[in-house]
Structure 1
Amino acid sequence: MILSALSIMLLLGMGGGALDLSRIYLVKTRMQQGCDAGVLAFRKSMQGTNVTPTTYSTALAYFNANFSPGRYGSENTLFPAPTVDANVVVHGTASTSVPMSLMRIFGFRQIALTAKCDAQLQLPNTDVMFVLDTTGSMTLSNPGDSTNRITGLRNAVLNFYNTLEQAKIAGTQVRYGFVPYSNTVNVGMLLKRDWMVDDWTYQSRQFDRQEKEQTGTEKAESDSYSAWSPSSPTISTSYGDPENCVAPANKTTTTGAREDAWSPSETAVPRTKVYYRTFGGDTYSASSDSSGQCIITRNNYPTTNQQQTRTISANPKAGQPIYSTRNFFWYRPTSYSVAAFKGTAANGLMAGASNVAMANVNAPSGSNTTGSDQKVSWTASNACIEERKTLRANEAGTAWDMDVDTVPTPGNPDTQWRPVLPALVFARQVSNLNASAPTGWNAAAVNTTSGYPQLSGSAYTNNRAACPSVARKLQSKEAGLTAAAVKTYLDALVTRGQTYHDIGFLWGLRLISKEGLFSSENTSAPDGSSIARNIIFMTDGDTETRIQDYDAYGLSALDRRRTDQGSLPTNAQQDTIVEDRLQRYCSVAKNQKGITVWVIAFGTNLTPLLRDCASQGRAFQANNSQQLNETFAEIAAKIAQLRLTR
């Protein structure tokens, strides 16, 4: 009996121990899974390198989903907030107690268990090309935001950069490039001299002749008016649509108009007369500032009794002949040498030049009878380009502009790019280029004295001839693109012009492609391994072109390089062309070059056009700056490949 009792106790110990040990192992395994899930969720829900108010609650929810309190009889389960070290590694710890069952009879009441877990973003060799819409509408603010869109973009991109840099492991190369776009792109200084033309034809003008003729004689009397007074308006400013900067109509009222008799008489010289009126209301004016914002100035005049004095006095030039000088110009396509803008830099790249004289563009100066020079500058800040030869619908040949990789042939202008030079470009038989749909265009040559708009005029450079900030080739932190350098670059982005998506995406594709123009820099990482390539394409609006814009295809209303030469194009026609080409470039990036395309619609709808441009599951809509920052953080996490490190 004693031996039997001892045998039973031994069997109970062995069986109970096996049962309890199995439960301990199960609890330990499931708690480790919960800990792993928790730290992964914690790292993924961080905003870049920052912990947000919801980060821990999200992590705890994932932990509980994998190891809920009381699972398998466990007690006192804890998963406190993980910690984040200087290398942005998330460290988590979970603990619980497992009550014993049969082993209690041997004095083992419970066992304490602990699980440790770490998570970190880790990057392969990676290239990221930002294609950024920097049109005038980026000066607007989204509902609920205290800052404008361009400020939100700057913050989000800088946070993205910091996140990826924190996720790098030793020996990994991560590079970043930028293509701001609007009417065209500023890539001129990234190109080799052989890739640019020596001569190019612009919709310009040339001085023809000067004619002087007597048009009358000076009158015996001169007539002048003083300003209405008193006049003390209250001046205030607001912001208008930066892509259609037009002032509201004036709203003024005038009543009680009357006038005095001439003093001292109707025939005396000099003599004066006073006019009276009651005047009040608002007058408006509009102008674009250097940052591309549309400034609406309102002059509010309180209803006031005003007066104005008219004075007629003797004209000291009475009887002298009046001559009129008329300068005639030919407005037509004109070829100019642009070779001076190439420079002689030792690296073979374009160097640009300032104050290059273009002959005979302006009227004679002083006593000269021949035309004077137009001084033209094309430097880093405005080195925008016209695209190389394109094709209209149903034309045969090679659309060199749509070729992503082929290197230009020296001496063949069809394959080369051309400098954007607004100072040489003039409209023809049209006056108000800032109207929504200016009329009166004439594609034929015109000989006239009329001063048609010059696209470098201050009223046009921010919209009609906008040149965005300079693009940057791919560069790593180790090669000089530090966080400070990124911030300086982003802070300097200018916002102006209209929305030409195709030219921006095309050059982002050219700058990141491992074949073609920059293949020597993009083929592989320094260690010879492959590179994961990404384009992040962000826009805040739909396609918006203007036929009166000077863009990457010239002055569209006159050059008509992508539309029928025989008729004036419409904005809608151009929009369709731009969107069709964007679709083609997106397809090349995804399907031919294996590039992951991320698309963000910021403060605008994620249209089918934008969604289809993106790689599968890589399209986002961000309605405000907070959502934009979250979107960039999510993209960073997906690019960086979140991993458990313990």
Structure 2
Amino acid sequence: MGLRQAFSRLVQDRSGATLPMMAVGLIPALAAIGSAVDVGRIYMVRAQMQAGVDAGAMAGARSFGLTDQRVEQVDNYFYANVPTGYLGSAEMDPASDFQTVQGVNRVKVDAVTDLPMAFMKIFGFGTVQIAVTATAEMQPKPLEVMVVLDNTGSMEEKVPEGTTRIYALQQAMLDFNNILHQGQDSRADLAMGYVTYTVTTNVGAVLNKYKIPVAQRDGFTNVAAYGGDPALGWMGCVENDPTVRDLGTDPTTITPGAFDVDKVLPGEDGRPGVRPYHFPPSAQTKTGMGGWFITPQLPANYQPIHTRSEKGNGRRNNLYRLQPLNATGTLGQTLANTAAYRQHFYDYYIGLNYQNSSQTDDVIVRESDGGYYKPGDAAAWKVDYSRIPYMTSTTYWDTPNGNYGYPAQGRNLGMPTPNWQCPSEAMDIQYGRLKKDYDDYINVDNHALMPASGTLHHIGMLWGYRLLTRDDIFTRTNPVPSEEPIKALVFMTDGETQAAGESAWYGAYGALRDRRISTSDTAGAFKNQVMRRFARVCENAKRDNIRVYIVSLMKGSDDANPVFRACAGSNYLQTSNQTQIQNAFRQIAVDLVDLHLTQ
């Protein structure tokens, strides 16, 4: 006899006592309570499963372009929301489907389970099947992104996984590209560009393309006119705009004359053209300096501390000849007296002139007759190239490196060169490029320049900002003119702003002794001024409705971290290994794509 038949006979039998009748009356009540418990379980399992497929669909949409990882991402997010055996439910295996429909990437996730009833099985209800579904998609929206990447020598150091920092960055950027492209070879609504930086940045080709005026440096930008070695010519890196010294700490303050923090371009509003970056022949010497003496010196005092064959990261010998060794003619003499070299050679070698008794080794001589020139005298002077100490030595001086920066040399910087520390050319922002073009830039043109020579965050940030925000000059065609594009500036570094303390150091703001941005010539004052200018560029970018993201790899510095945090807020992502930096760039990419649930 079944439970239902027994219950029916018990209800109809009225010959019993009161207690049996009460027991019969309790059965419906217990059934109601039991069904309420099971219905509650059904509701809770369904809700948890829905949260799981929602999270899984969103995760799948984020990683749509990572075809070898996206199913795993769906599963991980689903199971993070639905523990195994939740409230007695059977094993679940979410099914994910990835499709591109009319240009829209769509991810559908389904999940099904059987939930055994705890109380209702008494009444013949054994299990209940629960099914849920969720669909997420990415709607195309115009997106313009400028990525600024640290290419300093320290990027050749290792992360805990044992690979180099530059390799970790490359893998992170490839993931970044994959997510932004969402599995496509090209996105018509995506415009992206790259700027790499060290102590300078290479935007010369972009500036020439858009006809931004470049100041000519006779003997350098026009070296071909003199018949000089092409390796002596400008490769496109730039120095700072004219500016004022000693900016205050408030990044919101507008300082008249500080042309190196805003979006006004060289050549506009009466400003001069871009100053080409030029590293003159110099070296750290065994005396502890790199020249620039104002006391009596002998030629031996200019002996470099490193030979030209030195390959170490600390090499500080950038002595290159202006004319091939043993070549006839006056090319070296002519170039040495052009604007590119003349003042440098004076400042570097004038110490020889304080020795009146040895005038035959003076590099700086009277222009009229080549005789003795007294330092500070009003008479015209010139450089005697043939007298430069050690210049004929094959141990210390070398021909300029014409192959610098190419894969044939492992993409490391080869000295000597007037373009020392000049990274690869920037990529301007354009819609519809092939994803392969971006990947190639990351793998080939994004590399650590050796030997290391400091880090100037500001110069990369400034030109990344300008190339992004000045779309009236650096033009691109928005494929959806009715929609304002999202604009984002993504900045990456592995360390603090740094200027090497030795006198032979040179960067976008010249040498410390030039005092271009501070009345002090100390490295500390210089670094403070660089970071204050970085903060002002960031403030200007945010005023232009640009999303700013900053990623640091390894421990940041005490002077940089507060500036980065104030600049980017919660978009400042600190990482210390390869996994973390990959996750950081994935997070940024996800934030930049328009994802939402549709079902």
Q: What TM-score results when the alignment is normalised by the length of structure 2?
A: 0.63
**Residue 272 (structure 2) aligns with:** 415
State which of 448, 469, 475 in structure 1 corresponds to 2:430. Answer: 475
Shift of 1:539: 0.8
Q: In the alignment, does 2:73 pair up with 1:136?
A: no
Amino acid in the other structure paired with 2:91: L
Q: Is the 8 A contact 2:535 2:567 kept in 1?
A: no
The alignment covers a number of residue pairs equal to 458
Give 1:498 shift: 2.1
- The Cα of 1:132 is off from its aligned counterpart by 0.6
Give the structure 2 partner of residue 77 of structure 1: 90
Matches within 5 A, 1:437-476: 443=347, 446=350, 448-449=362-363, 451=388, 461=416, 465-476=420-431
Gap change, CA 1:109 and 1:610, over 3 Å in 2: same
Match of 2:168 in 1: 152
Partner of 1:91: 109
Q: What is the match of residue 505 of structure 2?
A: 549
- Indicate the residue corresponding to 1:215 in structure 2: none
DSSP 3-state at the match of 1:535: strand
Q: Is the alpha carbon distance of 1:549 and 1:138 closer, same or farther for their aligned partners in structure 2, counting shifts above 3 Å? A: same
**Are the equivalent residues in 2 in contact too, given 1:376–1:421 (CA < 8 A)?**
no
Query: Are residues 1:183 and 2:120 paired?
Result: no
Partner of 2:476: 521
Query: Deviations 1:427-468 (Å, cap 9, x if unpaired)?
Result: 753644878999x99859936335279999668547993111
Contact 1:134 1:495 in 2 (8 A): yes
Matched, 1:601 2:454: no
Question: What residue number does 2:487 align with?
Answer: 533
Of 222, 225, 230, 1:356 maps to 225
In structure 2, the partner of 1:625 is: 578
Partners of 1:128 and 1:394 in 2: CA distance: 29
How do residues 207-606 of structure 1 correspond to structure 2 at under 5 angstroms? Answer: 336=218, 355-357=224-226, 377-378=232-233, 382-393=235-246, 398-406=257-265, 408-409=267-268, 412=270, 414-422=271-279, 429=292, 431=302, 432=304, 443=347, 446=350, 448-449=362-363, 451=388, 461=416, 465-476=420-431, 478=432, 480-496=433-449, 497-514=453-470, 517-518=473-474, 520-521=475-476, 526-546=480-500, 548-557=504-513, 559-564=514-519, 569-590=521-542, 592-605=543-556
Q: Residue 534 of structure 2 aligns to a residue in which SS?
A: helix
Displacement of 1:133 in angstroms is 0.6
d(CA) in 2 for partners of 1:498 and 1:174? 33
User: CA separation in 2, counterparts of 1:517 and 1:613?
Assistant: 29
Amino acid at match of 2:111: T
Q: Is the 8 A contact 1:181 1:504 kept in 2?
A: yes
Residues 464 and 548, structure 1, Cα contact 8 Å, conserved in 2: no
- The one-letter amino acid paired with 1:630 is N
Taking a change above 3 Å as real, the CA distance of residues 148 and 22 of structure 1, as seen in their structure-2 partners, is: closer
Q: Secondary structure at the match of 1:417?
A: coil
The offset of 1:42, in angstroms, is 6.4
Q: Which residue of structure 2 lines up, in the alignment, with residue 344 of structure 1?
A: none
Q: Is the 2:93–2:112 contact (alpha carbons within 8 Å) kept by the matching residues of 1?
A: yes
Classify 1:120/1:181 alpha carbon distance in 2 versus 1 (closer, same or farther; 3 Å).
same
Report the CA distance shift for 1:78/1:102 in structure 2 as closer, same or farther (over 3 A): closer
Q: Give the corresponding residue for 1:367.
A: none
Q: Could you tell me which amino acid in structure 1 is paired with residue 53 of structure 2?
A: C
By how many angstroms is 1:167 displaced? Answer: 6.8
CA distance in 1: counterparts of 2:110 and 2:305, whole angstroms: 63
* Counterpart in the other structure of 1:281: none
- Give 3-state SS (helix, strand or coil) of 1:85's partner: strand
Say if 1:90 and 1:354 are closer, same or farther in 2 by CA, change over 3 A: farther
**Change over 3 Å in CA distance of 1:37–1:44 after alignment to 2:** same
**Residue aligning to 2:309:** none
CA contact (8 A) 1:197 1:418 kept: yes
- Match of 2:550, SS? strand
**Counterpart amino acid of residue 261 in structure 2:** M
Asked if 2 retains the 8 angstrom alpha-carbon contact of 1:123 and 1:164, the reply is no
Tell me how far apart the structure 2 counterparts of residues 53 and 144 of structure 1 sit (CA, whole Å). Answer: 25
Structure 1 residues 406-426: Cα deviation after superposition (integer angstroms, max 9, x where no partner) = 46249x5x4320222446889
Alignment root-mean-square deviation, CA: 4.6
Return the alpha-carbon distance in structure 2 between the equivalents of residues 604 and 441 of structure 1: 40
Which protein is richer in helix relative to its size?
2
Distance 1:536 1:198, change over 3 A: closer
Shift of 1:56: 6.5
Q: Offset at 1:627?
A: 2.2
Structure 1 residues 462 and 120: CA distance shift in structure 2, 3 A: farther
What is the letter of the counterpart of residue 356 of structure 1? Answer: A
CA 1:143 to 1:32, structure 2 compared with 1: closer, same or farther past 3 Å?
Answer: closer
Q: Is the 8 A contact 1:161 1:483 kept in 2?
A: no
1:109–1:394 Cα change, 3 Å = closer
Q: In 1, are the aligned partners of 2:237 and 2:422 still within 8 Å (CA)?
A: yes
Q: Where does structure 2 lack aligned partners over 5 or more consecutive residues?
A: 1-7, 13-23, 249-254, 284-289, 294-301, 307-313, 318-343, 354-361, 364-386, 392-396, 402-413
Higher strand fraction (1 or 2) = 1
User: How do 1:37-52 and structure 2 match up within 5 A?
Assistant: 37-40=55-58, 48-51=66-69
User: Percent sequence identity over matched residues?
Assistant: 24
Report 1:160-199 matches (<5 A): 160-166=176-182, 173-192=189-208, 195-199=212-216
Cα distance in 1, alignment partners of residues 346 and 280 from structure 2: 20
SS in 2 for 1:141: coil
Distance 1:595 1:109, change over 3 A: same
Aligned with 1:598: secondary structure?
strand
Equivalent-residue separation in structure 1 for 2:454 and 2:398 (angstroms): 15
Relative to structure 1, the CA distance from residue 164 to residue 122 in structure 2 (aligned partners, 3 Å threshold; closer, same or farther) is farther
Q: Give how far 1:81 is off.
A: 4.6
2:129 aligned with 1:112: yes
- Per-residue deviation, 1:580: 1.4
Deviation at 1:376, TM superposition (A): 6.4
**C-alpha contact (below 8 Å) 2:172/2:582 kept by paired residues:** yes
Q: In the alignment, is the contact (CA less than 8 A) between 2:236 and 2:276 conserved in 1?
A: yes
Alignment match, 2:4: none
| Superposed displacement of residue 623, structure 1 | 1.7
